[in-house]
Structure 1
């Protein structure tokens, strides 16, 4: 029979990101850093290519008391002050409009995974965008779920609401429940952000289909704090959920990794809203069990770091100023690449803001294009239906002329 469970015997992960990062690093050693264009890194880096560490965050962390770091958290669902502050931060001025719950999770990944586990039974279907973060599929497999995709964009390069409606309807008809993921704003990997009217259409579909079952939306907001329009405007779309059917639930997956640039602390959370208290109570109860049964505790120091900053207006402002500088830097980098791409006829998916830009490449040409680029010491990341350029981790000078080089290489 073998030592593995049947559900695990065929598991085999090949992480395309870390594989390509290694290839890029090997090329730097062999040819020199200046000869390599590395657009693999999905983390913020400064104009010298160094990993970004917000000084305003590090100062607070260094000054935390040992007892704020070393012991277990107050509860396996998280520290009370942390839960209070992530609800306030994620929802902003909209918090009072809903029934609200929250749990701490190990990064935004923990939030996504626990949502999949507690909403769908093994064998049921998860709805995700056809262009999206690769680990959604891995997590679905881990929880023995099937995958269905909606087309992210229509022919007008807008959110494909008709595809979302069609796929959601099919799933509701077959299983009496829908769990759909939308990664917005600052979509990974395209950098698209939906308009409020697009969000209104999503909520309308959720409500229409709730006549036949529950519709649960997982809104992955990992990159929300890098929206160009700023804190208040980036959360404006959440007003749409005030009309949410009482049979429905929305879960926001939040990541301190991006908001604080403290990836290694592994702190995130689920903030969930409904217009029916029972939905909140049921989801909270299920997640309490998951927290205890899977990770037991989220690092206390990371939670205390976030709540300490958010509770203090001065600290919060210092962080906002520092982070906003990088939002402007991302704007600058995207402008460099996008203007040149337009000039040379290099097709990209619609970008609004965020860490990544994705080239439109026909599926049958992606692998060949990647090999050609690597041969010329250009290292991007292969994603579904395209090639990702991580402007977040690349100095501006490395992006200058890149679109022309890519166009010359792949045609």
Structure 2
């Protein structure tokens, strides 16, 4: 029989990201840092290529009392002050419009994983975008789920609501429930952000299909605090959820890793809303069990760090100001790359804001294109239906001329 459970026998991760990161690292050693263009790094870096650590955050963390860091959290669902502050930060002025619940999770990843676990039964189907964050599929496998994809973009380079509706309808008919993931704003890996009217169409689909069952939307908002339009405008779309059918639920997956640039603290959360209090109560009860049964406790220091900053207007403004300077830097970097891409005729998926830009590459040409780029010491990341350029981790000077160079290499 072997030592593994049947569901674990074919588990095998081939991580294209870390494989390419190693190639880039080896090339830097061999050819020198200045002779390598490394656009693999999916974390925020400054103009010297150094990992960004917000001073406004580090100052608060180093001054936390040791008893705010070392002991267990107050509860396995998280510290009360943390839960209060993530609900307030995620929802803003919209918080009072819904029934709301929240749990602390180990990073945004913990939020996504616990949502899959508590909404779908094994062998049921999860709906995800055809271009998206790779670990969605890994998490689905971990929870014995099937995957169906909707086309992210239509021919006009807008959100493909027709594909989203069609796939949602098929799943609702087959299992009487839909769980769909939308990563917005600042989509990973394309940098797309949806308009208010696109969100209105999403709510319409959810409500139409709720006549036949529950529709649960997982809104992955890991990068929301890097939206160009700022805090209030980036959350304006949440107003649309006031029209949700009472049979529906929205789960926001929030990540302190990006918001605070404290990836290693592994702190995030699920904030969930409904226009039916019973839905929130049921989901909270199930997640309380998951928190205890899977990770037991989220790092107290990370939660205290977030709640200390968010509850203090001066500290919060300091962080916002520092983070906004990087939002402007991302704007500058994206402009450099996109203007040159347009001039060179290099096709990219529609980018609005965020950490990444993705090249439109035919699936059959992706591997060949990567090999050609690697030979010229350019190291991007392969994603579904394209090649990702991480402008978040690349100094502006490394992006100058890059789009034209890529076009010349891959044709």
* TM-score grouping bracket, smaller chain normalisation: over 0.9
SS in 2 for 1:141: helix
Distance in 2 of aligned mates of 1:363 and 1:18: 20
Matches within 5 A, 1:200-239: 200-239=200-239
Q: Deviations over 1:9-55 (max 9, x none)?
A: 11000111111111100000000000000000000000000000000
Q: Match of 2:27? A: 27
Does residue 1:394 correspond to 2:386, yes or no? no
Q: Match of 1:286? A: 286
Question: How many matched pairs?
Answer: 411
Matches within 5 A, 1:123-202: 123-202=123-202
Matches within 5 A, 1:330-349: 330-349=330-349
Unpaired stretches in structure 1, ≥5 consecutive residues: none
Distance in 1 of aligned mates of 2:15 and 2:254: 23
SS in 2 for 1:4: coil
Q: Match of 2:70? A: 70
1:270 Cα deviation after fit: 0.1
Unpaired stretches in structure 2, ≥5 consecutive residues: none
Q: Match of 1:274? A: 274
Q: Match of 2:365? A: 365
1:128 Cα deviation after fit: 0.1
1:252 Cα deviation after fit: 0.1
Q: Deviations over 1:222-262 (max 9, x none)?
A: 00000000000000000000000000000000000000000
Q: What's the Cα RMSD here?
A: 0.3
Distance in 1 of aligned mates of 2:353 and 2:93: 22
Q: Match of 1:403? A: 403
Does residue 1:322 correspond to 2:313, yes or no? no
SS in 1 for 2:73: coil
TM-score, length basis structure 1? 1.00
Q: Deviations over 1:171-218 (max 9, x none)?
A: 000000000000000000000000010000000000000000000000
Distance in 2 of aligned mates of 1:104 and 1:223: 18
1:127 Cα deviation after fit: 0.1
SS in 2 for 1:43: coil
Q: Deviations over 1:72-127 (max 9, x none)?
A: 00000000000000000000000000000000000000000000000000000000
TM-score, length basis structure 2? 1.00
